[in-house]
Amino acid sequence: MSWFTTPFGLLGLLAVPAVVALHLFRRRHQDHAVSSLFLWEDTETAETAGPRRQPLRRTPSFWLEVMAALLAGLWLGGMDPLGSSKAVHMVVILDDTASMAAKDKPGASLEEKTPHGRALKRLDSLFSKHGRRLRTTLVKSGQRPSVLAGPGALTPDAKQALKAWQPESPSHSLGPALTLARELAAGGEILVFTDQELSPAADDLRVISVGQAIDNFALAEVRRSRTSNETSDMIQVAVRGYSDQPGSTSVKFVAAEKTILERKIQALKDGERSLIEFEVPARLGAIEISLAADALEIDNHAVLHPLPDRRVKVLFALDGKAHRELGLAGAEATFGGMRRVSSAADADLVVAHQAASPPAWNLVMPKEEDELEAFAGPFAFERRHPLMSGLTLEGVIWTRSGTFGAPGSPLISAGDRTLLSEQKQAGSTNWFLNLLPGRSTLQRSPDWPIFFTNLLELRRSRLEGPQSVNLVAGEAFVYRADESAHWTLTGKGKEKSFRAQGDLRLESLAPFGFWKLSRDGNFVTSFAVNFVDPAESDLRNRGSLVQSPGPGRAALAESRYAESSFGKILLLLLLMMIAADWWVLGRRAA
């Protein structure tokens, strides 16, 4: 049992020996009345030595100063023998979802008319109510909850941490935060600040809902995709109206500081969706999309970044007969997402009878020859491999060369004969497809375009660069890379630097908006993260309600929070000592 709620404050007791030392070593001038000073005034007053220890004079001032230092130390230490033996530990879960920043009316400041502001105000009153005995742990909710302050932070530290709290996460469950909070609370009560009216709370939960039902419009979908002609992008934006009554808003598209489209959207209600689609040139830069101001600001803005060229460059180097039989002449139109090149040095994928050297990846096939083996099934294949996705090989006649070598791991086989194998090398992968198309039916079956598309996608997934440049809330940014590098990410005043080996993966980026990525100091790409989260945009089900724990728990919490007035008495005595010392010294000087 401790009488002190702030044991570190007891360091203030060091002031007691300090006061004694000051009295021991300070120059004390004994008062002495004289008729006149003029006979003393031009006497030499220089002293040759510093302060020396002198007998301690136990003057009223000395005792008052010692008492003041003692009281200050006890007060700073939070001495409270009349109160509870433990400091009160308040564990708070802060709902970090973006809807906590929804304004009750357009233009209201964040602190005044938002769930976030109301939560801060309630917390502030709790800090005042529980006084200096309070220790606070703030848990910020999220898919990965984090401890904003604490565990057991002092009130000033908790208040400081709260200043940095700006809710803007996409929707998520409070479950992980609750699990973490329960571990930290160790059986104590947990306060939950949210804008949702949660279902009846558990025994250890006091849910304080600070939300308010309000209408809102939101960008529900934002998409930019390359059209099949590869020269234009399709822009698709959906606006939803989350209101019980029909309402209107407007949406504006801006590129290179010029408005390229502005639409008025009317009579949206009950989550209805209004879709806007149009094409823009593929070379057009970033497009900023904005809705008219309403309750939630974060879902009114989005950016669609221009798409990088992620087509796979393919060199077809089969002989003319095999090329024709496989129908590769119109492969670009058939498969899409690829571009034919004429040099192995430029190719991402080479389809040939001989494997090219890395970094090209190869699909190697045999030439026509006399030693043949034909199979009508059954075929065994590695279904979990991405190349096999969607393949059935039903009704396929597969003829292979008896002399073609297929090193590596078998992916498709007939009996003990390997028909397709995969060989991984440093920086590249080779597939050996033992297929003689002139004597097989695979290239005419539905499995062939599936296989070739899988091949292109697999290769594309391993191309260096970003997998996507227009992300939505909660989506991870992935940059495919082989080498170790020092990365720098900048966006909206934030900058993060880190070193990564191979692929770069960044989860749940915030704030939303435009980001730039540099590798070893050189710019490599930019991308956008947009807040698109219907669950957060729909504010109609928000409310304000306090769900208290059971009566027993509530009473226990209140009694534990009680603080005696002993600290105030100590403070009052301290002030009295200081005032008395002031008075004594003043009288002496007079």
Partner 1 sequence: MSEVVRASTEQDADPRVLGQAWRLIQETKPPQGQAGRNLGRASGSSLEFQDFRDYQMGDDLRHVDWRAYARTDQLTVRLYHEELATTLELVIDGSASMDLTSAKAQAWRSLATFLHAAAAGEFSVKALQAGETTQPIQADVFQNSKLPGVHPAGALSLVDAPREGMLRHGSFRVVLSDFLFPHDPASLVAQWGRGAGRLVFIQVLDEGESQPQARGLLRLQEIETGKWRDLPVDEMMAKRYQQRLHRLQLSLEEELRRKNGLWISVNTQSTLEDWAHGPLHESGLIAPR
Binding site for partner 1 (CB under 8 A): 27-41, 43-45, 47
558 contacts: CB under 8 Å, gap ≥ 6: none
Q: What is the DSSP string of 140-191?
A: E-SSS-EEEEEEEE-HHHHHHHHHT----BPP--SHHHHHHHHHHHTTS-EE
CA-to-CA separations, 70 to 24, 91, 576, 585, in angstroms, rounded: 18, 33, 13, 19
Preceding amide of 359 cis, omega within 30 = yes
Name which of 28 and 486 has its Cβ closer to partner 1.
28
d(C-alpha 300, C-alpha 220), whole Å = 10
Strand-pairing partners, residue 352, are 317, 364
Name which of 29 and 384 has its Cβ closer to partner 1.
29
Least Å from the CB of residue 586 to partner 1? 14
Name which of 45 and 342 has its Cβ closer to partner 1.
45
Name which of 58 and 353 has its Cβ closer to partner 1.
58
The 10 Å CB-count burial string (b at 16+, else e) for 4-42 is bbbeebeebbebbeebeeebbeeeeeeeeeeeeeeeeee
Q: Are 237 and 219 in contact (CB under 8 A)?
A: yes
Name which of 57 and 58 has its Cβ closer to partner 1.
57
Name which of 40 and 552 has its Cβ closer to partner 1.
40
Least Å from the CB of residue 85 to partner 1? 50
Least Å from the CB of residue 583 to partner 1? 19
d(C-alpha 541, C-alpha 90), whole Å = 28
Least Å from the CB of residue 55 to partner 1? 11
Least Å from the CB of residue 580 to partner 1? 22
Least Å from the CB of residue 164 to partner 1? 53
What does the H/E/C string look like for 466-524? ECCCEEECCCCEEEECCCEEEEEEEECCEEEEEEEECCEEECCCCCCEEEEEEECCEEE
Question: C-alpha angle with apex 18: 14 to 20, nearest 5 degrees?
Answer: 120
Name which of 27 and 258 has its Cβ closer to partner 1.
27
Name which of 29 and 163 has its Cβ closer to partner 1.
29
Q: Are 340 and 316 in contact (CB under 8 A)?
A: yes
Q: Are 500 and 520 in contact (CB under 8 A)?
A: no
Least Å from the CB of residue 60 to partner 1? 17
Name which of 41 and 203 has its Cβ closer to partner 1.
41
Least Å from the CB of residue 34 to partner 1? 5
Name which of 23 and 542 has its Cβ closer to partner 1.
23
CA-to-CA separations, 349 to 339, 410, 443, 467, 539, in angstroms, rounded: 10, 20, 19, 18, 50
Tokens 């504010």 — which residue?
539
Least Å from the CB of residue 59 to partner 1? 14
185 contacts: CB under 8 Å, gap ≥ 6: 89, 91, 137, 204
Least Å from the CB of residue 133 to partner 1? 47
Alpha-carbon dihedral sign for residues 144, 145, 148, 152: negative
Name which of 1 and 34 has its Cβ closer to partner 1.
34
Least Å from the CB of residue 30 to partner 1? 5
Largest CA distance in the chain: 137
Least Å from the CB of residue 21 to partner 1? 18
Q: Is 344 exposed, middle or buried (0-12, 13-18, 19+ CB in 10 A)?
A: middle
Name which of 28 and 505 has its Cβ closer to partner 1.
28
The 10 Å CB-count burial string (b at 16+, else e) for 85-109 is eebbbbbbbbbbbbbbbbbeeeeee
